Amino acid sequence: MIILIFIIIILVALIAIALYLHFSKKPEPAYDPERVKLERENEERIAKARMEADRQATRNFFK
* 42-51: pLDDT as tens digits: 999 999 999 9
State how far the Cα of 37 lies from the Cα of 31, in Å rounded to an integer: 11
Domain boundaries, the chain: 2-61
- Residue 27: CA count within 13 A, CB half-sphere: 3
User: pLDDT, tens digit, for every residue of 3-26?
Assistant: 999 999 999 999 999 999 998 877
- CA dist 40 and 26 (Å) reads 25
Determine the Cα angle at 39 with ends 33 and 42, to 5°.
Answer: 140
What is the pLDDT, as a whole number, of residue 7?
96
Q: What confidence score (pLDDT) does residue 34 get?
A: 87
CA 49 to chain CA mean position, Å:
26
d(CA 35, CA 11): 45
pLDDT at 27: 72
Q: Is a pLDDT exceeding 90 seen at residue 30?
A: no
